[in-house]
């Protein structure tokens, strides 16, 4: 069972908040959207693979202390070296896709609506 990053109380993988210290464990009230954070309040971006490869577009970068997409550089490097077998990852949730690509989704929707208005 996972531990709460603040008080180290055992929590269920689906808990939205820690039952002891009420720390938020999941984002957007959804049990499948992990909210990554450190117990000491360190900046996550310093050790994040998305910061290292400059692909992160989150506004909280480079000062994020909590993040739903945090990916440890060391875990990424070990996976590339084949030291850690990648688990079969579940398909990304709609919430995650929306969070990561919302600007492009909105722009695409505006473009599509404009195109429809122009054609009809
Ligand atoms: S994904 Fe999150 S932790 Fe990683 S660089 Fe972007 S904001 Fe920082
Ligand atoms: Zn706790």
Q: Where are the domains of the chain?
A: 91-120
| Model confidence pLDDT, tens digit, residues 5-55 | 889 999 999 999 999 999 999 999 999 899 998 878 889 999 999 999 999
Pick the atom of ligand 1 nearest to 67's CA. Answer: 2
Enumerate residues lining ligand 1, CB below 6 A. Answer: 44-45, 48, 50-51, 56, 58, 60-61, 64, 67, 69-70
CA distance 22 to 92: 27
Number of H helices, E strands in the chain: 3, 2
DSSP conformation class of 20? T
Ligand 1 centre distance from Cα of residue 72 (Å): 10
- Looking at the DSSP bridge assignments, the partners of residue 10 are 3
Ligand 1 centre distance from Cα of residue 114 (Å): 33
Confidence of residue 90 (pLDDT cuts 50, 70, 90): low
């Amino acid at each position: 069972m996972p531990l709460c990053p603040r008080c180290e109380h055992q929590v269920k993988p689906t808990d939205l908040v820690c039952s002891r210290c009420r720390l938020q464990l999941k984002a957007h009230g959804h049990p499948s959207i992990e909210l990554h954070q450190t117990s000491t309040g360190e900046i996550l971006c310093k050790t994040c693979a998305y910061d290292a490869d400059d692909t992160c577009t989150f506004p909280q970068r480079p000062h994020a202390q909590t993040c739903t997409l945090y990916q440890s550089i060391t875990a990424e490097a070990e996976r590339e070296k084949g030291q850690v077998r990648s688990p079969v990852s579940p398909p990304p949730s709609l919430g995650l896709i929306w969070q990561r690509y919302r600007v492009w989704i909105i722009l695409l929707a505006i473009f599509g609506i404009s195109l429809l208005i122009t054609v009809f």
